Amino acid sequence: MKIHLFGLSYGSRLAQEYMRRYPGSIETVVLHSPTSTGSRMPLYHAKYSQATLEKLFNDCAEDSSCRTAYPDLKKEFNALMSAGRKAHFKTSYTFSDGRTKQLSIPWEIFHTKLRTRMYDPGNLRLIPFIIHEAFKGNWKPFFSFYSEKESYSAFSAEGLYLSITCSEDVPFIKKREAKSLTKKTFMGNYRIQQQQNACANWSRGIIPNDFLQPVYSSIPTLILSGEWDPVTPVSMAKEIARYLPNSQLIIIPQMSHTFDGLSNEACFDNMVMEYIKDSGKSKVNSSCINTMTPPPYKIK
């Protein structure tokens, strides 16, 4: 009995490696917002996030309600970036119990949180509002991304993430390449430096010699990629597809890294299930992707 593999984001790299090592045990593969085996996270994070931010600026300018509410969005963001790189933002926060605390917000904290909001279409539509309000000195919308109480997020296990990337990615990032790819981006080299610092104090595993090489396979593979993805863009999905001659690439226009917040989310599930049930023998009907539309931009 063969298995069907489904991998999202890093899980897609795991799926590709499984395709390389155990091809005879796989019926079909679905790669959702895939990352290539040689992506060396987070080398391209700044570059791809900058591309998504520029796309957001352009889309807002073309959307009548967003353009009316935020006619100078890009200028406001650049002004925030210029000020934030010179000094921390100062503000106060009033807790739900009435306590007030003075806070200092580094630019790196601001841009890191914005980047994570780019991962799904619902949060992407909040970003112009967050930028505009922060520019005016109102940090309440930005604080809404945080919990007042200490909490544990099960979304990402940082220890596991470091165990993976400190072995498979970070050791292969070249200083000159990092400098070039992060130049003129709102993130700069911050994320790479932070991860390199962490990996300097983290155990490193051993990976196969061919691990960073592309995976060539004729296994039926469905690849789903979003045009708004700030971390594994369409260009990466196309690169992966080049080595999978029996693959079908579906580009979802309004999807980011995930499809959360889009209408007709069932479209995605139905395409995947259709592919698996048919064992990848026929081309998937992807006409429904045009009904996967984002919510309106937040204005107030």
- The pLDDT of 218-224, averaged and rounded, is 98
Q: How many other CB atoms sit within 10 Å of the CB of residue 74?
A: 16
Per-residue pLDDT band at 6 (split at 50, 70, 90) = very high
Comparing 116 with 151, the larger pLDDT belongs to: 116
Considering the chain, what is the average pLDDT of its residues? 95
Per-residue pLDDT band at 154 (split at 50, 70, 90) = low
Relative to beta strand 247-252, strand 221-226 is: parallel
pLDDT at 233: 98
Per-residue pLDDT band at 232 (split at 50, 70, 90) = very high
- The pLDDT of 252-280, averaged and rounded, is 97
**How much of the chain, in percent, has pLDDT values that exceed 70?**
98
For the whole model, what pTM was predicted? 0.94
Residues 279 and 271: their CA atoms lie apart, in Å, by: 12
Q: What is the DSSP string of 169-199?
A: TGGG--HHHHHHHHTT-SSTTHHHHHHHHHH
Beta bridge partners of 91: 103
For the chain, the 3-state helix, strand and coil shares in percent, each to the nearest 5, are 45, 10, 40
Q: Residue 221: enclosing H or E segment and its boundaries?
A: strand 221-226
Cβ atoms 128, 135 nearer than 8 A = no
pLDDT at 153: 59
pLDDT at 155: 59
**How much of the chain, in percent, has pLDDT values that exceed 90?**
92
Query: Environment class of residue 10 by beta-carbon count within 10 Å: exposed (0-12), middle (13-18) or buried (19+)?
Result: buried
Domains and CATH numbers, the chain: 3-37+215-291 (3.40.50.1820), 39-204 (no CATH)
Dump pLDDT digits (tens) for 11-69: 999 999 999 999 999 999 999 999 999 999 999 999 999 999 999 999 999 999 999 99
Q: 26-40: string of b/e by CB count within 10 Å (b at 16+)?
A: bebbbbbbbbbbebb
Dump pLDDT digits (tens) for 67-105: 999 999 999 999 999 999 999 999 999 888 889 999 999
The two tokens of residue 41 are 């996270």
